Amino acid sequence: MQVPKQAPFRFALDLRSGVPVYRQIIDQVMGGIAASSLSPGDQLPTVRQLAVDLAINPNTVIRAYRELELLGVLDTQQGTGTFIARQKTPRPSAERARRLSQLVQEFAARCGAEGFSLDDVLEALEDLRPESNKKRRT
């Protein structure tokens, strides 16, 4: 019995999000790794192929891949391709703080657009905490 092959990782852009395209690529690779959709050794599309697939400038893909290489997330082998690095490297704390801030801002903006107040959002988030960790609201 053969193990079914996992579908290849797919990139998708949201051009209305306000997030730069190169940043979306970086975030999707990082998210794919966190969700185990991408594993060490997995090959990513070539710069040219991803640029064609997403209908963007190849320089944008180069920028994203280069940043991911600097973070130790990708390993590019000339003539072979670009792969998820085998060595798992923790995200630098400044990068984590930047990403959390970005996610919170996006989330708050979407909630505000739906008519929810910050207090509504905070209350809903507090409800997600396990009972043992909940703070008493006064």
Q: Is position 45 within any domain? A: yes
Measured from the Cβ of residue 57, the count of other Cβ atoms closer than 10 Å reads 12
b/e string for 93-130 if b means 16 or more Cβ within 10 A? eeeeeebeeeeeeeeeeeeeeeeeeeeebeeeeeeeee
Is 36 in the same domain as 72? yes
Statement: the pTM of the whole predicted model exceeds 0.75: no
> Largest Cα–Cα distance of the chain, in whole Å?
62
Rounded CA separation 110/116 (Å): 9
The first and second tokens of residue 95, run together, are 């990068």
pLDDT classification of 37: cutoffs 50, 70, 90: confident
Within a domain: 13 = no
With respect to residue 113, please indicate whether it lies within any of the assigned structural domains.
Answer: yes
Same domain, 74 and 104: no
- Residue 33: both structure tokens together: 């790794």
Domain of 48, in residue numbers: 21-84
- Structurally, the chain folds into a number of domains equal to 2
Asked whether residue 72 falls in the same domain as residue 99, the answer is: no
Instruction: Verify that 122 and 76 share a domain, yes or no.
Output: no
Q: State the average pLDDT over residues 41-56.
A: 95
Residues 36 and 59 in one domain: yes
| % of the chain at pLDDT higher than 70 | 85
Residues 78 and 99 in one domain: no
**CATH no. for residue 47?**
1.10.10.10
